[in-house]
């Protein structure tokens, strides 16, 4: 539900420029670092095509970490973080998490590293790890809006709704800009919908459009989506469809939104809209997508 990057330092130098500016010894370390990153992201294969075992991971990581951060030869940690940002922008969240695992090892007292790793975790659906990272963020910065707002989301996804609401309330107290108020109200709206408190949810989602009328970025799309869910629960399907349509048009990276919208369109007989929503859901969910979505596309297409 949280839809903007944490407002932390982002290295600005082009990563390709940094790579080719290094000595060959450093580039060799870069190749080793790629192996480490792959291991950390859980995707590494050895040169002979077999999965890397746990002992191999430990053997690779420790010496490379030590060498990579040697001032004379090592890759600057900002380069590692640049890769992490690039992965996040490309929605390659496990790879981004691997990069920020390294950044945390190199700079364990840098709050930004935990925030970015938490962002990667929360977007890849690893809510337990995201919870741990954002808990560290608020331990290090007790007035972090991003930390509390993201903990609201993580607790909500874990079904811990009372804790989610507490963190949502704190995020609203810490919000200091219209965008932050919009994000926090939408987040709390979603938690209340999940709890079945539709009146409270309706108030929060409507507050989004009181703060920023006609807004169309991701939090606004999610507010329309949740208003659609609320109105369906209140047996107002025609008005609900209007909000679902706006949610679809404004867009989100939240795959479940498109699946829910597709199923509503499907049940109401809007075949073309259902197909488009199912396809968007599959695009975002990738290999984790529900196979029923593919079946419904074929059925609705008459294949």
In-domain check, residue 57: yes
pLDDT score of 74: 63
pLDDT (average), residues 242-267? 94
- C-alpha to C-alpha distance for 255 and 276, rounded to whole angstroms: 13
pLDDT score of 184: 96
pLDDT tier at 303, thresholds 50, 70, 90: confident
Domain count, the chain: 1
Residue 201: closest CA among 161, 254, 148:
161
In-domain check, residue 93: yes
pLDDT (average), residues 129-152? 95
In-domain check, residue 120: yes
pLDDT (average), residues 212-239? 95
Domain boundaries, position 76 = 1-124
pLDDT tier at 34, thresholds 50, 70, 90: very low
pLDDT at 216 over 50: yes
DSSP 247-277: HHHH--S-HHHHHHHHHHHHHHT-HHHHHHH
Residue 250: closest CA among 275, 209, 207, 219:
219
In-domain check, residue 24: yes
pLDDT at 115 over 90: yes
> In the Cβ-directed half-sphere of 194, how many Cα atoms lie within 13 Å?
19
Residue that the structure tokens 């939408």 belong to: 186
Helix (H, G, I), strand (E, B) or coil at 42: coil
In-domain check, residue 199: no
pLDDT at 108 over 70: yes
pLDDT (average), residues 184-208? 97
pLDDT score of 253: 87
In-domain check, residue 38: yes
In-domain check, residue 41: yes
Q: State pTM to two decimals.
A: 0.73
Cα 281 to its chain centre, rounded Å, is 15
Secondary structure of 141-182 in the HEC alphabet? CCCCHHHHHHHHHHHHHCCCHHHHHHHHHHHHHHCCCHHHHH
In-domain check, residue 144: no
pLDDT score of 235: 95
């Amino acid at each position: 539900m949280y839809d903007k990057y944490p407002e932390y330092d982002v290295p600005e130098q082009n990563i390709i420029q940094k790579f080719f500016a290094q000595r060959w010894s450093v580039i060799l370390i870069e190749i080793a670092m790629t192996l480490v990153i792959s291991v950390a992201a859980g995707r590494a294969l050895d040169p002979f095509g077999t999965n890397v075992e746990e002992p191999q991971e430990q053997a690779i990581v420790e010496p490379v970490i030590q060498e990579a951060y040697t001032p004379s030869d090592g890759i600057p940690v900002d380069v590692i973080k640049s890769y992490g940002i690039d992965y996040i922008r490309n929605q390659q969240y496990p790879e981004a998490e691997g990069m920020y695992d390294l950044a945390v090892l190199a700079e364990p007292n840098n709050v930004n590293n935990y925030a970015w790793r938490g962002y990667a975790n929360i977007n890849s659906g690893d809510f337990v790890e995201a919870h741990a990272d954002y808990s560290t963020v608020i331990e290090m910065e007790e007035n972090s809006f991003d930390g509390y707002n993201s903990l609201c989301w993580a607790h909500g996804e874990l079904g811990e709704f009372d804790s989610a609401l507490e963190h949502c309330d704190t995020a609203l107290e810490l919000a200091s800009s219209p965008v932050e108020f919009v994000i926090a109200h939408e987040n709390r709206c979603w938690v209340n919908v999940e709890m079945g408190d539709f009146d409270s949810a309706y108030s929060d989602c409507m507050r989004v459009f009181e703060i920023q009328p006609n807004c169309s970025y991701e939090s606004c799309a999610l507010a329309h989506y949740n208003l659609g869910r609320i109105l369906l629960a209140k047996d107002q399907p025609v008005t609900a469809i209007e909000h679902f349509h706006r949610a679809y048009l404004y867009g989100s990276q939240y795959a479940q939104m498109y699946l829910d919208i597709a199923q509503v369109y499907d049940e109401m007989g809007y075949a073309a809209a259902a197909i488009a929503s199912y396809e968007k859901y599959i695009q975002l969910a990738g290999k984790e997508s529900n196979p029923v979505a593919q079946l419904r596309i074929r059925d609705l297409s008459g294949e």
